[in-house]
Amino acid sequence: MILPLLQLSSPALPLGAYSYSDGLETLVETGSIANAEDLNHWLIQDLNYGAIRLEAALMMRAFQSFINQDLASICYWNSWLSASKETSELRLQSWQMGNSLLALMGEIYQANNGDHDYFQYIKSAIDQPCNYAIAFGITAAHSQIDPQTALLGYLHSWATHIIGAGVKLIPLGQTIGQKLLWQLSPTLTEISQQILMLNDDDLVSCSWGLGLASMAHEIQYTRLFRS
């Protein structure tokens, strides 16, 4: 089921992702990230140790919980992920994109097979804002996407998003941005395999750099992005 994944991970999906930089705007403003090499280093470090690694692991747990029809587990991991967010901007970003994805997929499925009520039911049952990683996992499982492929698509979508913000902010040329994404492919594949092996006790991240950048972004004088 590659076509649903291509749509789910597409930058063109109207979730508002283009308006967020995940703290990158502050890192560029302070000079911490000034060129393509700096951005590549940041991406690799985040994949190995940071928040995206944790979020991807929780996306997979939402995926499996959906397969098992375990709504309580979905609610648990959604609350867990909300609590792990270090700043209000990052939490609101995740909630906004997650709720938007569930609403969008409800409309898409209604137009194709009348399954709109199911996504409304999930949203109501969670009874709190739904994080993007959780919504992605639910949607991928509902669309019968292979779990390993869904994970790789999730990571690739994240990398595309951050590189896109970097192209605007640093700035970089579009060709350089695509080179960065291409060069990151082996790392994305390697990290996806590691994430599949993570136990619940391994769900940790070292993302203090992201947290500090996000906190500074909240009071940054001039901003193009919402995070």
Report pLDDT digits (tens) over 3-18. 999 999 999 999 999 9
DSSP 8-state symbol, 170: T
**CA-based torsion, 51, 54, 59, 60: positive or negative:** positive
Per-domain boundaries in the chain: 2-216
Q: Is 90 exceeded by the pLDDT of residue 179?
A: yes
Distances in Å between the Cα of 86 and the Cα atoms of 91, 205, 213 are: 8, 11, 11
The residues, ordered by sequence, that sit 6+ positions from 76 with a Cβ below 8 Å of its Cβ are none
Report, as an integer, the average pLDDT of 102-131: 79
Query: How far apart are the C-alpha atoms of 128 and 124, rounded to whole Å?
Result: 8
Q: Is 70 exceeded by the pLDDT of residue 111?
A: no
Range 2-216 classified under CATH 3.40.630.90: no
Q: Which residues of 191-211 are buried (b: 16+ CB within 10 A; e: fewer)?
A: bbeebeebeeeebebebebbb
Q: Record the pTM.
A: 0.96
